[in-house]
Structure 1
Amino acid sequence: MQFSPIRTAIIAIVALLGVLFAIPSFLPENVRESWPGFLPRQTVVLGLDLQGGSHLLLQVNQEGIVTERLQSLRRDVRNVLANQNGIGNITTTDAATNTLTIELTDPSQKEAARSAIQSLQNTIGNSLLAVGGVNELSFGETPDGKLTITLTPEGVEQRMSALVAQSIEVIRKRVDELGTTEPQIQRQGTNRVLVQVPGFGDSQRLKDIISRTARLTFHMVYPGMSAAQAEAQGLPAGTIVLPSQDGGKELIYEDVALGGESLTDAQPGFDQQTGRSVVSFKFDTRGAVTFSDITSKNVGKRFAIVLDNQVLTAPVIQQPITGGSGQISGSFTPQTANDLAVLLRAGALPASLDVVEERTVDASLGADSIRSGLTAGIVAGILVVTFMVVAYGLWGVFANVSLVLNIILIFGALSMLGATLTLPGIAGIVLTIGMAVDANVLIYERMREEQRAGKSPIQAINAGFERAWGTIIDSHLTQLIAAIVLYFMGSGPVQGFAVTLALGILTSLFTSYTVTSYQVKLWYGLRRPKTLRIQHFRFIPDGTKIPFMKISRYVIAFSIVASLASIGSAYFKGFNLGIDFVGGTAIEVQHVGGPADVGKVRELLDGLNLGEVQVQGFGTPEDVLVRVQAQEGGQDADQAAVSKIRTALASDNYELRRTEAVSGTVSGELAWKGTIAVLIALGAILIYIWVRFEWQFALAAVTTTTHDVIMTIGLFSITGLEFNLTSIAAVLTLVGLSLNETVVVSDRIRENLRKHRKMPLPDLIDLSINQTIVRTSLTQFTVLLALIPLVLFGGEVIRSFTIAMTFGSIVGMYSSIIINGPILINFGLKARSETDEAEKPRKADRASV
């Protein structure tokens, strides 16, 4: 109870900093701008689910890169052998093995050819090491004497890594051209790029701008033969056939006469004669000279402008163009002309990118999510604060002051770190409200025990804080382990939940112990009471002696049956898997002007030939959720399906509010990562408890927690609740909550093992549970007070998450109280008297020796 000035100053400084960093998030922008420069202005960054916007996960198309590189290498081989050295050859490509096979027309020149093609070796540097590199090509020979060139796996990987880095810069330029604010563009793994653009709700346009390669090239059109004739008679050497924008085909020379890298500017405009939208472009000096030379030598011939292997236009060169500028015409609208100009100004992507995950949230839905989250948080806060005052009176006020400061510190830390707050993140803060009072309940209940044991008020207060501290640390660290695993194994909103949960755990350690003890010290110094009247209300009276061990066999039998039922349901019935795990598209629509008609929506979509389509009510009577299976044909087919649904429903006044599209590749990865996350969390907690307690406690805790996970997963299967990425977050959080309860009981068992050495172990476990059940019931009730408002007001998006959390927390309390003890006995935990008796022969043997 002695507080030094330094400790007091630390509390004051931390509280002041928390308030200063948290306040800007709740003030209008004009007020923040008028603040003095030395005050923080940074606010909490709202996630896309709260402010609306688009989220795209792009993956470099490795097949396209390899195919293009083989084509380029084929041209290089032909040039090196035929043009430079006069060695005739026939080159064939094997895409399966990434190999070129070279058949020489004159086999006697094999060694000269071998030497010539080895000059094409390319060393790709490793950007991480910045020294050396890997060879891109390997050279060999077939059994029948043909030369081979193969792209090495290391070379392909290094090329992809370099292309991702280049792609990020091009994407950033393109997004900046759109005028959006605070876009997030970052690398994910070796071959993916994550793009999040807040406030930009047109995901189709964003996808078109970001994922298009926008490689502009200029080619001469092959004269005297149409594309159809060439395909019928055989392509002339050095030519290719490409589709044109008007639906036809063009036969052009394969060699690029001029590349788009020479462009310096591109602007949308209108043709002065026809009034149609066009894109005007301008070359740099080198490009202008080349363009002038090409048009001067080919007057009267056709010149094709090609964008991403499609001929935009192929006009006849009427006269030499010497000004270094020109225009691209076609079937453009003003917006598509502007978007093409944006693409050309930003430059071409070095590789094609596939959209493997797409999430779009309408701004109005984001506002609804904020409103739902705030409502749930306010209701939960009022319930918890009121209950603490009812249960503990003035001591409840102390806990509430610490709780309010805890929430302020969470928002202050989120602002200071620039962390993103998502809807599951709000759920994490609300859950923290319930969990934050747990430490205070532990401390207060310990004080009551110490006072009943005959200690003076000051001794009871000191003992309450000191003896509860170890249990508080253990229970909070087990939850922190789950939060850390969630952060590193999760993505997007799940990471947002993990951040707020972890921050809440850390700030709770500070406020519930240090801040509460400071308030108690001030109060005690002023009042000096003879006795401490801490608790005013309780669910279970003092001195309860419930014989848990006597009924444990029946309870364990029930748990075994329930667990087998959960496993059986999961195996035979399966789960209602969300888009995260099965791939496909989920679309939330809202009916304008009244309740939605699910049957009518189903009728409108039946004739679209989209495969399996599920339609169900979602949240309010106006909302409907449409789930469509992944379409054959990849991302373009998925987007076409969304467009069909939008058009079909627009006729009946339905508006799109949210779109999620996940490819099969990503859904498989998410399912695997979720399973690994649960296993890693259990393993890490097992190690921690093993170190802090004994091995029996660790195995019992993990067994108990596994039981809770099985029961909760069974809930998803039996009830048909959607099992998605946030469900994994719910399961991992339950791991922490369940272990929180288990650790409290285990800590009391360990303490009583030292205190009551001759008490039979079943009686000792009963005593420990009865001593902690008051705290457990109060803590569980406060957690439920926080979770139930989330279920009722948190919104449909996190409904399955909050229901699973509520069910799992109840199951966690049940298993920690009734199941954990018998498991400890079955794992061989012994009372201290039994341990001492076992040690006597060994001590006697050592003494005789």
Structure 2
Amino acid sequence: MIDAVRGQPPDGVPRFLPAKCRAFERAMLQPARWKTTLAWLAVAAGLLVLSPNLLPERQRDELPSWATAHRLAPGLDLSGGAGLVLKLERSDIETDRLITVVNAAGRVLRDAGIPYSGLSGSEGRVSLRVNDPSRAEEARQALAAVDGTRVANENDGSLRLEVTPESIELARAEAAAVAVEVVRRRVAEVGGAGVDVQREGSDRIVLQAPGFPDPQQLKDILAQRGQFSARLVDSSVPLQQALEHGPPPGTQVAYTLGEPPVGYLVRRASIFTANDLVSVEAVAGQGGSAASIRYQLGPEAVRRLDEASRDNVGRTLALLLDDQVLAASVIAGPASDGRGKFAGDFDLQGAENLAAVLRSGALPASLTVVEERSIDPALGAASVRSVFLAAGIAGIAVALFMIAWYGAFGAIAAIALVFNLLLILAVAALTGTVITLPGIAGMVLTIGMAVDSNVLVYERMREEAANGRTLPDALAVAFARTFPTVMDAAVTTMIAVAVLFLLGSGPMRGFAAIVGIGVVTTIFVTFTLTHWLAAAWVARRRMTHLPRSVRTGVFGGLHLRFMAIRNHVFSAVAVVSIAVALLVSATGLNLGIDFTGGALLQLEARQGPADPVRIASSLAEANLGDVMVRTGSDPAVVTVHIPPQGGGENAEQTSALVARGELEADYQIGRVEVVGPSVSGDLIRAATLGMAIALAALILYVWIRFEWQFAVGPVVATAHDLLLTVGLFALTRMEFNIGSIAALLTIVGYSLNDTIVVYDRIRENLRQFRQMPLPLLIDASISQTLSRTVLTAATTLIALAALAAFGGEIIRAFAVTMLFGIAVGTFSSIYIAGPVLILFRLRPDHPRFGGHGRAAAEA
């Protein structure tokens, strides 16, 4: 029985392979030539794709366009720049649609010669009265031709047109399409090269402007709808009378922008609008005077202005922007050249922003900034240096660790890891995946996780060699029999990654994309290049026995009685879990602005260390609520967390703007994040739904692949891992944000990978050793996979430790969470997932085998 525990069947038990399994292993004895050729071609193609990224800008510009079509795109957190999420105001769209219906109704009745009165609209309804009751039905039929409305009779004999929800939705879709183009033009007007503007959902626009140095300028030019017009001032009634009794029909009251505001009664009819401008430019003021705007009208607008100015000499012409008076002047005479100039209460920067707004055209509705994530380019460059240093240290440390344990085989794994990283970057460039800071963290995590497949192969090779196979056969069988396990681990990781990508946003999508690409390239590299390199090395050296440089045999002699202490472990775990649950319930989590809304600013003192007390005092005087100021490893850098203001989307932007005004004299603003209430609510729903879907999908996959008892184990182990990791947040008061959700999902996937490896071996042993008591069989299975568990955890923890130590402040919390979660996941895969099988009475005489699991078990 001892031989059986070590993996050798008892004497008299024949080894046999089903035909399907023998064919599979024969195919895996030597990697197919076409597979190896394809793998090396992929590496060459990857080098070709990435090589332009390594050249200086001048040399890159000399290359043909096809050679530079696929470049690595750094995210805002690496390149710096501005990232905004804008929301189209539905109220503007509804108001404009209502005005359109009012005008259409009046036009239809006038064309039909039907007299009417009291035409007005409010709250999605237009009301009017037909003066001749005998023509009411005729009016009703005429109004039915107005698109997007329903006609109904009122009790008082008037007619009512209701704007349909379908027409509102159509108008909103059209407005969103127009808004995307206007936003793109405006950002381009102020030098936003490489700007990416995309529509998201029905009413949101996502803007990414890499390298843009002034996010506030972007917000300034996008805050204005840009409805510019020239209108005559109405002097038929005094302004005060219009204010007290309402303006006459066809007029409105508008005010200037300055202090104090000056009111004008202006006509609604425009002489010319922004659509009539053929050129607009900002002009600097002379001798300290305010800057001005110079414009030129098109021919048709010149004709209209000439006629209006001839007929209204001595009257006042007002220029309005979004119903506010920019300038007003008395018409001195005919204006036949179409040239104009006006000054306002703005400096040259403000004039240039206004000129950009006028040149780009009006927005179909106002835009509100509901989310902002902006980073100073200098901070982005520092993040690049930190995270690449961490990646380099992690790669070197993992390579040295593998060489120390596996000798030449470890060196092959390290070489394959380089190819793996090369392919990850090449695929990212080809697919246009943005490389973000979390994405590079995902790459560092892949360094540790990619070694897992090599460890599985090498450990199986060691076992097969110990069972009497020659080294070439042991290596081939190892690749054949570990493929199903690697695929299981890949599927579980991809489920978590897919959910995170679909329901995540911004940088977290970059993390999910890189990890997902890494899973695919790891499988490809391991079972093509690594297989070929290992087989070629063994063949060249004509080796028949396992070299002494493979040192993991120390684990093979261990026969630890894990299940003997399962009751004590379960009791301890229960006590700790209850304590953690009470802690979380009592203290809650330190939720970040992703889930609460609010603003976050990262500040760096211009001179000396930062003064958190003074910062908090200054912002408290500005009535921004209970502001939290945190210090980090650098005494000159602090993070300011401004709580949600409770005044809608604009209130959060206002709080960040006020904070900047209070602090920017003494501090440089490195990073600004603002999340409005609508976005924070969406993130909460997405995070909750994502965790639920991911857990359900992962458990369902394990259930399908194994007995139902095997599915219960991951449920209990995953619950344990999640609870303890959440307890870490409650205990340390680390900020819990959307990155924390990504860490939790990754921990779940990693823990399940570990559990599946143990379960695969348990299922295999169940087939071979039917009479062995279940606790002993589980102990044997865990012992057989212990080297893989320890070494994989070690390499992953090494990579994460490098990320935590050298990756910078922004990514440190993510790395620390992953460090803790993977350590807890390794524990649960041994001491929780295994005992659960005993607790739920997994019967060794009724195992279910299917697919490649059957072949592996019978082998």
Q: Which amino acid aligns with 2:137?
A: E
**How many Å apart are 1:335 and its aligned residue?**
1.7
| Partner of residue 333 from structure 1, selected from 347, 354, 368 | 347
Q: CA 1:624/1:9 → structure 2, altered by over 3 Å: closer, same or farther?
A: same
Report the secondary structure of 2:537's partner residue: helix
Match of 1:846 in 2: none
Q: Distance in 1 between matches of 2:553 and 2:750?
A: 21
**How many Å apart are 1:820 and its aligned residue?**
0.7
What are the within-5 Å matches in structure 2 for residues 122-141 of structure 1?
122=147, 136-141=148-153
Q: Distance in 1 between matches of 2:299 and 2:396?
A: 70
Match of 2:424 in 1: 410
Q: CA 1:146/1:823 → structure 2, altered by over 3 Å: closer, same or farther?
A: farther
> Is the contact made by 1:439 and 1:513 (CA closer than 8 Å) also made in structure 2?
no
> Is the contact made by 1:428 and 1:500 (CA closer than 8 Å) also made in structure 2?
yes
Q: CA 1:516/1:233 → structure 2, altered by over 3 Å: closer, same or farther?
A: closer
* Greater displacement, 29-38 / 796-805: 29-38
* Greater displacement, 156-165 / 285-294: 285-294
What are the within-5 Å matches in structure 2 for residues 346-495 of structure 1?
346-495=360-509
Q: Which amino acid aligns with 1:213?
A: R
Match of 1:55 in 2: 83
Match of 1:603 in 2: 617
Match of 1:655 in 2: 668
**How many Å apart are 1:26 and its aligned residue?**
3.1
How many aligned positions are there?
819
Match of 1:550 in 2: 564
| Partner of residue 735 from structure 1, selected from 748, 768, 780 | 748
> Is the contact made by 2:180 and 2:197 (CA closer than 8 Å) also made in structure 1?
yes
| Partner of residue 99 from structure 1, selected from 95, 109, 125 | 125
TM-score with structure 2 setting the length: 0.91
Are 1:195 and 2:195 counterparts?
no
Match of 1:279 in 2: 293
* Greater displacement, 217-226 / 807-816: 217-226
> Is the contact made by 1:757 and 1:833 (CA closer than 8 Å) also made in structure 2?
no
* Greater displacement, 20-29 / 792-801: 20-29
Q: CA 1:566/1:814 → structure 2, altered by over 3 Å: closer, same or farther?
A: same
> Is the contact made by 2:30 and 2:476 (CA closer than 8 Å) also made in structure 1?
no
> Is the contact made by 1:440 and 1:513 (CA closer than 8 Å) also made in structure 2?
no
> Is the contact made by 1:219 and 1:256 (CA closer than 8 Å) also made in structure 2?
yes
Q: Distance in 2 between matches of 1:635 and 1:686?
A: 39
Q: CA 1:40/1:522 → structure 2, altered by over 3 Å: closer, same or farther?
A: farther
> Is the contact made by 1:295 and 1:319 (CA closer than 8 Å) also made in structure 2?
yes
Q: Distance in 1 between matches of 2:206 and 2:64?
A: 36
Spell out, residue by residue over 1:612-670, the C-alpha distance to the aligned partner (whole angstroms, 9 max, x if none).
Answer: 2111113421111111123354454433433332232234x211111011100000101
Q: Which amino acid aligns with 1:476?
A: A
Report the secondary structure of 1:541's partner residue: helix
What are the within-5 Å matches in structure 2 for residues 630-669 of structure 1?
630-651=644-665, 653-669=666-682
| Partner of residue 793 from structure 1, selected from 789, 793, 806 | 806
Q: Distance in 2 between matches of 1:306 and 1:835?
A: 77
Q: Which amino acid aligns with 2:674?
A: A
Report the secondary structure of 1:439's partner residue: helix
> Is the contact made by 2:758 and 2:829 (CA closer than 8 Å) also made in structure 1?
yes
> Is the contact made by 1:302 and 1:316 (CA closer than 8 Å) also made in structure 2?
yes
Report the secondary structure of 1:194's partner residue: strand
Q: CA 1:835/1:421 → structure 2, altered by over 3 Å: closer, same or farther?
A: closer
Are 1:150 and 2:178 counterparts?
no
**How many Å apart are 1:466 and its aligned residue?**
1.0
Report the secondary structure of 1:620's partner residue: coil
Report the secondary structure of 1:533's partner residue: coil
* Greater displacement, 273-282 / 616-625: 273-282
**How many Å apart are 1:273 and its aligned residue?**
11
Match of 1:759 in 2: 772
Are 1:221 and 2:233 counterparts?
yes
> Is the contact made by 2:272 and 2:305 (CA closer than 8 Å) also made in structure 1?
yes
Report the secondary structure of 1:832's partner residue: coil
**How many Å apart are 1:23 and its aligned residue?**
3.0
**How many Å apart are 1:160 and its aligned residue?**
0.5
Q: Which amino acid aligns with 1:299?
A: V
Are 1:528 and 2:542 counterparts?
yes
**How many Å apart are 1:84 and its aligned residue?**
6.7
Q: Distance in 2 between matches of 1:343 and 1:586?
A: 29
Q: Which amino acid aligns with 1:589?
A: L
Spell out, residue by residue over 1:100-125, the C-alpha distance to the aligned partner (whole angstroms, 9 max, x if none).
Answer: 33355665543243234323x22xxx
Are 1:824 and 2:802 counterparts?
no
Q: Distance in 1 between matches of 2:52 and 2:307?
A: 61
Are 1:772 and 2:777 counterparts?
no
Q: Which amino acid aligns with 1:228?
A: Q
Q: CA 1:712/1:103 → structure 2, altered by over 3 Å: closer, same or farther?
A: farther
Q: Which amino acid aligns with 1:728?
A: I
Q: Which amino acid aligns with 2:532?
A: Y
**How many Å apart are 1:256 and its aligned residue?**
3.1
Q: Distance in 2 between matches of 1:38 and 1:182?
A: 18
* Greater displacement, 701-710 / 507-516: 701-710
Report the secondary structure of 2:728's partner residue: helix
Report the secondary structure of 1:621's partner residue: coil
Q: Distance in 1 between matches of 2:812 and 2:320?
A: 50
* Greater displacement, 236-245 / 696-705: 696-705
> Is the contact made by 2:707 and 2:847 (CA closer than 8 Å) also made in structure 1?
no
* Greater displacement, 416-425 / 254-263: 254-263
TM-score with structure 1 setting the length: 0.92
**How many Å apart are 1:39 and its aligned residue?**
4.7
> Is the contact made by 1:90 and 1:105 (CA closer than 8 Å) also made in structure 2?
no
Q: CA 1:270/1:322 → structure 2, altered by over 3 Å: closer, same or farther?
A: farther
Q: Distance in 2 between matches of 1:256 and 1:566?
A: 67
**How many Å apart are 1:38 and its aligned residue?**
6.9
> Is the contact made by 2:279 and 2:296 (CA closer than 8 Å) also made in structure 1?
yes
Match of 1:46 in 2: 74
Q: CA 1:413/1:341 → structure 2, altered by over 3 Å: closer, same or farther?
A: same
| Partner of residue 42 from structure 2, selected from 8, 11, 14 | 14
Q: Which amino acid aligns with 2:39?
A: I
Match of 2:136 in 1: 110
Q: Which amino acid aligns with 1:245?
A: L
| Unaligned stretches of 5+ residues in structure 2 | 1-28, 850-859
Q: Which amino acid aligns with 1:578?
A: G
Report the secondary structure of 1:314's partner residue: strand
Q: Distance in 1 between matches of 2:610 and 2:392?
A: 30
> Is the contact made by 1:91 and 1:101 (CA closer than 8 Å) also made in structure 2?
yes
> Is the contact made by 2:229 and 2:321 (CA closer than 8 Å) also made in structure 1?
yes
Q: Distance in 1 between matches of 2:130 and 2:574?
A: 73
> Is the contact made by 1:614 and 1:626 (CA closer than 8 Å) also made in structure 2?
yes
Q: Distance in 2 between matches of 1:87 and 1:195?
A: 49
Q: Distance in 2 between matches of 1:462 and 1:539?
A: 19
For the aligned residue pairs, the C-alpha RMSD in angstroms reads: 2.3
Q: CA 1:583/1:453 → structure 2, altered by over 3 Å: closer, same or farther?
A: same
Are 1:781 and 2:794 counterparts?
yes
**How many Å apart are 1:78 and its aligned residue?**
4.7
* Greater displacement, 7-16 / 54-63: 7-16
Spell out, residue by residue over 1:585-605, the C-alpha distance to the aligned partner (whole angstroms, 9 max, x if none).
Answer: 101100122221211222222
**How many Å apart are 1:528 and its aligned residue?**
1.9
Q: CA 1:540/1:578 → structure 2, altered by over 3 Å: closer, same or farther?
A: farther
Q: Distance in 1 between matches of 2:63 and 2:286?
A: 52
Q: Which amino acid aligns with 1:544?
A: L
**How many Å apart are 1:833 and its aligned residue?**
6.2
Q: Distance in 2 between matches of 1:596 and 1:275?
A: 38
* Greater displacement, 558-567 / 170-179: 558-567
> Is the contact made by 2:74 and 2:434 (CA closer than 8 Å) also made in structure 1?
yes
Structure showing greater relative contact order (alpha-carbon pairs closer than 8 Å, 6 or more residues apart): 2
